[in-house]
Amino acid sequence: MSLHVPTPLHHLNSLLGGGLPRGDLTLFFGSRGVGKTSLGIQVAVSNALNGSETFLIFCDGPFPAGRLMGIAGVSADAVSKLIHIATPPSFAEQHRALERFEVEVNAHPLTSLLIIDSVDSLYTIQLSLLDSWGREGQISEESFILNKHLGLISNVCRSKEIAALITCSARPSEDEPFEEPASARLMDYWSDSIIELSREPDGLCLKPVKLKGRRRLKEGQRLRYAINDKGLELLDEGGTADDD
């Protein structure tokens, strides 16, 4: 069994040491419209074409089935049988979807990948529904539940040797003049690797924030990409990783 689940983006695989590491949680974060959902679907389709199964928990409204069909193309019917999709409508249902995954994955021995897009969407909606009275305590309680979700993801993926691709939104950093993941402390604690999808003056870029092991991009390097009908397409090789 390979130690990684390869993505269809070869230089991203190089950056990650071969692909998404099994047992690790790899976080991709960015603002709306930078391609997080396209990336998740693209990787799920690639994984299916390699004969492996993916559990995809989509937490941002109705699942864009048309996007899946477009990326999969003529292989759509075969690919769809290997991608198991859940669309929880609430933060509480997100927890139940994760619990079901923990059980159902045992019946799917070809599973190599879990995708959650976006792990913070329903959490953010839940926070918006809280009463103003006692709000601080309620936020702490909901943050504790999000922490449980991330812990469950990490524990199941490590025990089953499944790669986890998680997405979340971005927010302005409190300390630095750039963006960071939403719920940054929790995301940083549970994520083995963190990659930002950012909109730069010269276009869209994948920029590593944290990488497991000794592989690092040189300072200022990134992977430029565009979004097309097949997902993300890397535009150059300017961000390939070098060994320390």
Per-residue model confidence as pLDDT tens digits over 2-46: 899 999 999 999 989 999 999 999 999 999 999 999 999 999 999
Q: 25: closest CA among 225, 172, 166?
A: 166
pLDDT tens for residues 82-129?
999 999 999 999 999 999 999 999 999 999 999 999 999 999 999 998
pTM of the model: 0.91
Sketch the domain layout of the chain as residue ranges. 4-234
Long-range contacts, 235-239 (Cβ 8 Å, 24+) = 235/203, 237/11, 239/11, 239/15, 239/206
Name which of 98, 113, 97 is nearest 42 in CA terms.
113
Q: List beta partners, residue 180.
A: 171
Task: Determine whether domain 4-234 maps to CATH 3.40.50.300.
Answer: yes
CA proximity to 207, closest of 180, 233, 189: 180
